[in-house]
Structures are given as C-alpha cells and as structure tokens.
Structure 1
C-alpha cells in the first residue's frame, strides 16, 4: 500500500516495474521455474521450417487435441514471499516493510483420475502456494489441495472436489521414437488451452535446473512452450500423454524438456498412495575418478567413483564403506560414469541387498549392504 497520495502514481508504476523485473528474471534463468508472476520452466518454439506430412495432417492433430484438451487445466497460485526478496530501492513504495509480499503464479496441469479428481502438474508450479485455483476449459473453477509433491522429479498431484470430470490417458510405454510428432497443450502467459506442435528431438536427456536437483531421462522437444506451460501435457497424435512439460533452455530456442509419462505415472501413484516418493539409498556421496586423482592415490583404474563422504548411520556406513573407497561395480555391473551408481540403486527397492566391488588402495573387496529409504531431508 502506498503511504501518501502524492506518491501513489509513481508507486504503482514502480510496483508494475518491479513485477516485470521479477518476472523477467525468472524467465531468463538457465532453466526457468514457474512460480511467482508466471515462473516457468518448459520447452520453447517449434522449428518454423517443419511441415506436417500427410499422415499427420491438421485433422489428426485436431483429433488428438479433442481427446486431451478437456482434461488440460489452468493452475493459478498465490504465494506469499518475504519483503527481503524485494530490492531495497523498491521497498518504501509497498507500505508496511514487515508485511510479506503476495505474488501470483500461473501453470498448467492435466487430470489423470476423473473419479477422484487428481490433477498431475509440476512440483515447482505449486511450491509454497497458499492458495491453488484450478480452472477447467469449461470455465469451472475449484480450489486445489496438494496430495503430494516430489522435488526430485519435479512432479506433484493436486486434488479438486469435482464431479463429471474429463480424464487424460497417461501412457505407460517408453517415450516415443525420436522424430515422432507431439503436441503441447497448456496456458502460456495465461493464454488458456494453447496448442503447439513439434517433434521428439531426443530422449534420455539429463538436465540440472538452476537451484534444483538433476532431472533425468527427459524427453527433449521443439514444440513451442513458454512460461505458464509448466505441468501441461505433451501428447502423441493418438491423444495420449507421453510427457509432462517441465523445463526450457532459456539461452536457446526450440530446446525444451518433458518428464516421460512412464516415469510420471510411477511418481504419481506413489504420491497418491503415500503422499511422498520412496527411494532406495545407501548413504554415500561420490565423485568421478580423474587421471590426476588416480595417480595421486595410486588407484588401479579411472573407472568407477570415489566415495567422498559416508553419512553416519547409513547402510554404507554400517557395511563398512569408507571415504576414499573406489566403487567399480554394483551387482557385477561396471560403473563407468558417476550417474551409473545412482541409476542402478534407483532400480532397486528399499530393503534390497546389493554387492559393491570396491578398491581400497590396490586391495579389492566385496561389500554387501541393504538399501534403506532415502531420508526426507535429502530429497
């Protein structure tokens, strides 16, 4: 609130300017996240030279949109941020400096269970939200309640108290082949039910959004997606959801990423059943082996990973894994890259026994341990 009448016009101008600046900064970050004044992190424009072949004419795209469109929703959030997030120059124009600053965000989602009212979206869309409003294409609006969210996968499930809902089909198959046509539907910049078309540019992509965990095995697409599309579906021409749009590369055009529907389905089921995602864990941090590291510690190989730290009380600590150990195999599968160990562990269930082949100096040994549930504070 502006403190005096004389400064009110200037104050409103500064408020608008600040909103634009904050929004701009959020969109320009390496991989944009969608909260606060249209925070977003989904894919960008389609290659303008691309043309649809006869087998995928506009009629086929239209049919896909007809099937999926009614289940794509707009998500509006209200978040309260501390005044400390506002640049000092602007603070005097916003009234009580001790009061928090309300901000709004826009995103997308898709209804995956009509009977129970479950909506799948990105975790960053609803992060820290005090209020969640879900609007359907038929203009019905409901207050959403978070069922569960998982920062590691950037997925969340929201429930709405509604009847007679449409429902999208979530594909449980592997991602479409590279070159397959896909359709993105969402609410970029608040323009509801926007449809864009592109192709699957690549699969199995790993990215590291700014300030967030590494997202793995994503679908890369050039379908035009912008801030506000986060959480919306990427669909094939049969109208099946094959991905959940989640990130864009802000320094380029036509490079965006979606979480595969196969992975999204697994995460959504756990969020619905448990309110969280249970992941196996052994309790070590590690780093790749460089040639210099190998020579300094007189290691037998540059393959594998070196244990940097062992968390006290973890399965690895109880089994005798030590800092400096070189892990070269897990269950007789060779570890060639740093992510190999993590990916192999994630394939197991909590309580499974795994065997690690390690080198301690030049001496090799096998250590067996049982995986445990990853602690909540490490997710």
Structure 2
C-alpha cells in the first residue's frame, strides 16, 4: 500500500488536545496595553467568554495601561475597554468593540481531578495562539500575587507557560475553560499556575456589575482539604471537605478571633464551607464589621468561634 494512502488517525490524547484547541482557540486574544505616549505597558492573553465581546484576562496584564487593544486569531485588531480588575485575584474583564465574535464555553474548576488532561492556549513570547498540553498536577495551591496578596485555591499544572501566556485559558479535554493562566515558577520546569474558573467567574460577575469587587476579609490564606471520614462521622458532618488555614495575618480578624494554622473551617454564619470558593462567596461587603459564628475543626475537636470580618 502506498504511504500516501495511509491515514494518520490521532491517538486519544492528541484527539482531546485537538478538540480543546478547536473549540477554544478562536476565542483567544492577544492583549496589548499602552501607557502614556503610546509606550508599551504590558501584554498577555485573554479569552472571550460571551457573544458580546467580554474577555477574561489577568489584572497584572492590564493594570498599568491607559489604552488596550486585542488581536484576534482572524487578524482583526479591536479596541478593548477595561470593565474592571481585581488585583486580589489577578482577574480583569475587558470588553471588545466588535461584532460576530467567537466565545469559549466555561466549565467548572470544582470538578477537576489531579492527573486530568488540560490544555493551555495563549500567546507566549508573541507567538500567536500557541497550545501546550499537560495534566493537573495539584489543586488548592496558595500563590502570592504580584500585588503582594495571597491567592487561594489555585490550579497547578505542568502545561508549559511562558511570558505572554498570562490571562489565557486553561482548557479541559472536552473544550471548556477551567482556569485562567496566571504564573509560572522560574527557573523551575513544569510548575505553572491558573486561577480556577469558578473564582474567575465570581469575580467577573461583580466587575461587570459594579466595576470592582466589594468584599470583607478574615486575614488568612487557606486551601481546600478533605475531612477524614471518621471525623465526619463522629461530629455528624455531611460535607466531605473544608478549608484549612495555612497562614494568618499578624493583626488580622482571624488571628484576633483565635484561629490557628491547621484549623479546618466547616461553616461560616451557619453556611457550609466546603472549599475556598465557598468562603470567598460568604465574605461579602455586608459582612464587614459584623461578628459571625465560624465553625471549625481543630485536630479532632469541633469548635465555634466568633469572628468579625473587616472591609478589604
């Protein structure tokens, strides 16, 4: 049989990467920021997530710019307006001035599993719409942002990222956005991070509504952890996970309330806290200055402590 009669059928791994890229690639944009005098103020990637041109990207990509432009994969260059940015989570939302724009489907980062295939799409080092693939290496990481804060519940992946990938989508095999790429650890190999799409959507919704995120804070860094079955049974807890405190600010509300590193939070004001995103959703602006009961596990003991969040 002649060689040109043979068809190269993609293996299942390659087929998933191709599917993810085909579905999300057209919605990926190259974001360029300009400062005073037209000087470059940064560049990165973004992903359109609505039919009317809203774009998710990183706050650090757009934070210093006075004018923004987005380049599409079809060659179009469109002006972009900054709707709002949130340095605390390194998320920003832009809106493009155009019609007939493609958009990506959003997934859920809460359902991700370690070892799952993920694909990163972006514009590393100016190379437009590049795709790299890897797996979810870990979940629930804590990462210090460029603004100096701590970003909780971050996805760690070994899908290669380079400067310019920031703000681009992390995509599941079925072709849904599950994270927004935000950082790599240099000079380490295969240690890259993305903000979970559940957090990104929560932030984006508020930026689109108010132009900023209003929140209260407890002054702690935390990560989602499983609760041992025997502990759950002993205390009749229905939830399988909680939020473990990894760090407390020196004069923060959490430390003043008597919280300790290693405590696992299970409810906030009577509402179950099964993950970091649950805690973020509970810490609304209205909670600031009001004492609420915080239920937690300290080793095997179940405690309730009053805590007063601060505006921040």
TM range (shorter): 0.7 to 0.9
CA distance in 2, matches of 1:128, 1:241: 26
What RMSD over aligned residues (CA atoms) do the two structures have, in Å?
A: 3.4
Query: Counterpart in 1 of 2:13?
Result: 56
Query: Counterpart in 2 of 1:355?
Result: 293
Q: What are the within-5 Å matches in structure 2 for residues 1-379 of structure 1?
A: 54-57=11-14, 59-80=15-36, 102-115=39-52, 117-209=53-145, 212-281=148-217, 308-309=250-251, 326-327=258-259, 346-350=280-284, 351-352=286-287, 353-355=291-293, 368=306, 371=309, 374-375=311-312
Q: How many angstroms does 1:79 deviate by? A: 2.5
Unaligned runs of 5+ in 2: 1-9, 222-244, 269-275, 296-302
Q: How many angstroms does 1:355 deviate by? A: 2.5
Judging by fraction of residues, say which structure has more strand: 2
Aligned 8 A contact 1:120 1:157 in 2: yes
Aligned 8 A contact 1:74 1:109 in 2: yes
Aligned 8 A contact 1:330 1:355 in 2: no
C-alpha change, 1:182 and 1:276, in structure 2 (3 Å) is same
Q: How many angstroms does 1:169 deviate by? A: 0.7
Aligned 8 A contact 2:87 2:147 in 1: no
SS in 2 for 1:113: coil
SS in 1 for 2:110: coil
User: Greater RCO between the two (CA within 8 Å, min separation 6)?
Assistant: 1
Query: Counterpart in 2 of 1:88?
Result: none
Unaligned runs of 5+ in 1: 1-52, 81-99, 287-302, 311-315, 335-341, 358-364
SS in 2 for 1:64: helix
C-alpha change, 1:326 and 1:157, in structure 2 (3 Å) is same
TM-score, with structure 1 as normaliser: 0.60
C-alpha change, 1:369 and 1:169, in structure 2 (3 Å) is same
The number of aligned residues is: 261
SS in 2 for 1:153: coil
Aligned 8 A contact 2:178 2:196 in 1: yes
CA distance in 2, matches of 1:254, 1:77: 28
Q: How many angstroms does 1:176 deviate by? A: 2.0
